Every structure is written in C-alpha cells, then in structure tokens.
Amino acid sequence: MTEATRAVHPLPGSVHEVLFAPATRGVLIAASRDPDAKLTFVVTPAANTYPTGPTGAVAIKIPATPAAAAAIRRETTMLIQLRDSRLGSIAGTIPQYVETLDSGGLPALVSTALPGTPMSVPYHRWLHTGRSRLVAADFALAGGWLRRFQTATAGEPAPITWAGQVSAQLRDRWHAHPHLEAALIRLAAADRQLSGHAVAQTVVHGDYWFGNLLVADDAISGVIDWEGGTRSGCPLRDLIRFALSYCLYLDRHTRPGHRVLRHRGLRHVGFGPGISYGLLSRGWLPDLVREYLRDGLRTLGLPAELWYSAALTGLGEIAALANSDEFGGSHLTLLAGLPPWPPTTQQEQG
C-alpha cells in the first residue's frame, strides 16, 4: 500500500477500531478457557477497511493471556511463511495473514476467514462415529488433504529422531510423574523402530485434529489454527495426531461405564479408551484407523509396519506439549499402559 493510500484509508491499529466500527458485523465463534485462552471473531469489516486486502470476512484472534499472545505470535509467523510457500491448489485452504492489531498491548491476529463447517460438528452428531461410511469419509478427507500438503512442502530427507525428541520433552515436563518410566520404555521401543529410517521433512501443522479442519462440498475447505506449526519437521506428527484425536472422543456421548454404540468392546471407562480401542482392538473402526496410518506411511516412503511405533510417539508428544496439565498427564498415563508393540507385530507384513 502506498503512503497516499494510507493517508486516505489508514489501516486500523487496534481491535477496538475494527470490532466497534459503525458498519462492522461479526460473531464470536470460539472462546476457550485454556492457559492460552483466545477469543475468535469472524467479522465483515466496514467498506474500505482493507483497500488492497481481503474484501470479505476476516477472522480476528484476540489473546486473553500473555501465553495466548505468544501462541498468536507463533501462528502469525507460520501464516506469513506459508504465504510465501508454493502450495498450488491447496493454498486457498490456508488462512492468509492480513495484519496484526493491538489488543491492550497484546497482538491480535487478523487473517482471512475460510468457508466451511468444522469436522467436529458432524463428528458429534448422533451416531456419526458409529457409521463406517461416514467415518471412512472423514479419514479420506483428512488423509487426502495431508498428502497434498506434505507433497507440496516436502524438503530434504532426514533421520527420524521424533521419538527421542519426545522422550526428552517428557523428561523435562514430567520428571516426577509416577508413569514416566513406563512411558519412556514405550518410546524407547518406538525409537528403535523409527530411528533406522529417514523421511522428507515437511511443513507441520502441529495440531492436525478434526476440530481444525473445515469441510464444504465434501472437501477440505480450510485448515485453521497454525500456532503449533513448524516450517520443517517430521510429517508423521500430523498423520498421527488426526487418528489419535478422532479415537479420543468416541465415548464422549456415552455415559460412564456404558458400552459405546456400534463399537463392540468399547466402553466409556477411564480416559481415552477409544485410543486403545483404535490401536489394539478388532473391528471396522480399528481397521480404518490402522489402514489410514499404513497408507500415510507408504505415501511418505516408509514401511507400513511402523504405524504403531509412530502412534506411541504421537501419544507421547501430546503428553509433552498439551497446554493443560490434566490433559497431558492423562495421555502420559495412557501411553504408559499400552504395550510397547501391538499384539500382532509378528504378523505385520506392511
């Protein structure tokens, strides 16, 4: 934008100037209570607010805490880096950075608003996760977008050190946890399997779960919330995160102690029984989960039988990086209770 244009149409400098402009229309779409809590508005700003920028709605993410401000700075950096990447046809599925506003001395992120409904909305509809056709479609959408994204951002191959890195992160965060040693034994087994292989480094979203995927017209129309992203990292991280998150909430609408409908052997008992079910049990959903992971590994040029070691490492990463101690600690305990290898390891053929 030229200085002359700025003089006629100065960009707003604060959140207040955008949200409370006379012609602005918007809605609060998300508010969290996490340590890095944020408020997210989708806003149609007044005409000429961005004379050389977006003409439609924008998303404004406002931090409620200093920790949230740090997360917004990380996401801002990622969106700027992604804007300069060659993403081809999927570029339109990633929010475009617009500007940073002041919110009481903390940065608020403005980005383009993307169309679509979060995959979490149909996920929580009655018996959505009990229907194999619908679940298979969710995995196909998530896996298909991820393959295209990883192909577009693939760089040089590097040895897979992910499990070793997660072990170090767990030691730092959970050094006094009673289940730490058991968890580290599982990660050591995973590292022995993974570390002998190399994989092309890619851009990593870092929180690739179904709540961050927008769907429209039976396609992924947007992938949001890039604050956990990195410009170059292990692509297994996003592959695993989607599968684990999808399994985690299978029992959400089932009363404690009761059987989860249409999933034989799965009951709402303890934390995350759906993860153990998805990784270790027999049935149509565990079959879908494991085939999704195997397909993702094959696409990355890795042996399909590494799926379980990668899943253990993904559990450890959630335990290490979760912004809630309760959530992270529960994943650590879950990891410690899983076998170091799946019961069918000897029969895995890849």
Q: What is the pLDDT of residues 197-235, one digit of tens each?
A: 999 999 999 999 999 999 999 999 999 999 999 999 999
- Which pLDDT belongs to residue 39? 92
Residue 31 has pLDDT above 90, yes or no: no
**Do 280 and 286 contact (CB within 8 A), yes or no?**
yes
- Which pLDDT belongs to residue 164? 98
Between CA 134 and CA 30 the distance in angstroms is 26
Asked whether residue 150 falls in the same domain as residue 91, the answer is: no
The residue among 202, 272, 274 whose CA lies nearest residue 238 is 202
Q: Give the CATH number of the domain where residue 104 resides.
A: 3.30.200.20
Q: Name the domain boundary from 46, 81, 112.
A: 112
Return the higher-pLDDT residue of 85 and 290: 290
Asked whether residue 232 falls in the same domain as residue 332, the answer is: yes
Q: Name the domain boundary from 61, 83, 112.
A: 112
- Which pLDDT belongs to residue 212? 97
Mean pLDDT of 112-136: 97
Asked whether residue 300 falls in the same domain as residue 216, the answer is: yes
Asked whether residue 53 falls in the same domain as residue 127, the answer is: no
**Do 109 and 76 contact (CB within 8 A), yes or no?**
yes
Residue 181 has pLDDT above 80, yes or no: yes
- Which pLDDT belongs to residue 241? 98
Asked whether residue 182 falls in the same domain as residue 36, the answer is: no
Q: Which residues contact 230 (CB under 8 A, 6 or more apart)?
A: 78, 203, 204, 206
Between CA 322 and CA 329 the distance in angstroms is 9
Q: What are phi and psi of 223, to 5 degrees?
A: -125, 120
Between CA 167 and CA 188 the distance in angstroms is 8
Asked whether residue 258 falls in the same domain as residue 328, the answer is: yes
- Which pLDDT belongs to residue 2? 44
**11 falls in which pLDDT band (50, 70, 90)?**
low
Residue 274 Cα to chain centre, angstroms: 18
**308 falls in which pLDDT band (50, 70, 90)?**
very high
Mean pLDDT of 103-128: 96
DSSP state of 96: P
Q: Is 108 exposed, middle or buried (0-12, 13-18, 19+ CB in 10 A)?
A: buried
Answer positive or negative: Cα dihedral of 263, 264, 269, 274.
Answer: negative
Mean pLDDT of 262-274: 97
Asked whether residue 122 falls in the same domain as residue 265, the answer is: yes
> Which residue range is the domain that position 294 belongs to?
117-347
Asked whether residue 104 falls in the same domain as residue 152, the answer is: no
Asked whether residue 8 falls in the same domain as residue 91, the answer is: yes
Mean pLDDT of 281-310: 97
Asked whether residue 147 falls in the same domain as residue 202, the answer is: yes
Rounded to two decimals, the pTM is: 0.93
**10 falls in which pLDDT band (50, 70, 90)?**
low
Asked whether residue 90 falls in the same domain as residue 150, the answer is: no
**316 falls in which pLDDT band (50, 70, 90)?**
very high
Domains held by the chain: number: 2
pLDDT tens, residue by residue, 52-96: 777 789 999 999 999 999 999 999 999 999 998 889 999 999 999
Q: What percent of the chain has pLDDT over 70?
A: 94
Mean pLDDT of 122-147: 98
Residue 237 has pLDDT above 90, yes or no: yes
Asked whether residue 125 falls in the same domain as residue 268, the answer is: yes
